[in-house]
């Protein structure tokens, strides 16, 4: 597995775990991924996540959320890639599925949702979409 784009790798791990109906998935730990998972927990796409020490960089264990035997995450997609970064101003930020989805934006104020970035009037790099 390539480690050029850790966020894309993690999104793939989550997608694969959902297709296999797993309840948890372990991913490499980083501050960026912790911020993204914090948003997913706050928006109720996952139940919880916790840091697990392994004498290296650590791991994050994600507890996936299922509602009536269906995953709360229908789809998760990486938008901005190392080869093609996508930056948008706050007026151009997308509304995923007409507001039913979520865009994760990396701004100068940290990693936030598209709604929070629009309210704060700041743009940034579009990390990914989730619905």
pLDDT reading at 94 higher than 80:
yes
Same domain, yes or no: 43 and 82: no
Sheet with 24-28: list strands edge to edge: 24-28, 59-64, 46-52
Give a yes or no: residue 61 inside a domain: yes
Average pLDDT for the chain: 95
Is the same domain home to 80 and 55? Answer: no
Whether 51 and 80 map to the same domain: the answer is no
- Answer yes or no: is pLDDT of 2 > 80: no
| Structural domain boundaries enclosing 64 | 6-71
Residue 1 falls inside a structural domain = no
What is the mean predicted confidence (pLDDT) over 17-31? 96
Cβ contact 73:64 at 8 Å: yes
Residue 1 above 90 pLDDT? no
Domain count, the chain: 2
Q: In the chain, what percentage of residues exceed pLDDT 70?
A: 98
pTM of this structure: 0.92
- Which comes out higher in pLDDT, residue 61 or 3? 61
């Amino acid at each position: 597995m390539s480690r050029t784009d850790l966020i894309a790798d993690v999104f793939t791990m989550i997608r694969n775990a959902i297709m296999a109906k797993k309840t948890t998935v372990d991913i490499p730990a980083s501050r960026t991924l912790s911020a993204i998972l914090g948003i997913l927990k706050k928006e109720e796409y996952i139940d919880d996540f916790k840091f697990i020490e392994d004498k290296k960089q650590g791991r994050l264990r994600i507890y996936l959320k299922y509602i009536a035997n269906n995953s709360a995450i229908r789809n998760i997609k990486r938008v901005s890639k190392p080869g093609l970064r996508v930056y948008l101003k706050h007026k151009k930020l997308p509304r995923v599925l007409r507001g039913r989805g979520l865009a994760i934006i990396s701004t100068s104020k940290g990693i936030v949702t598209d709604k929070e970035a629009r309210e704060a009037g700041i743009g940034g790099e579009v990390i990914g979409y989730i619905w």
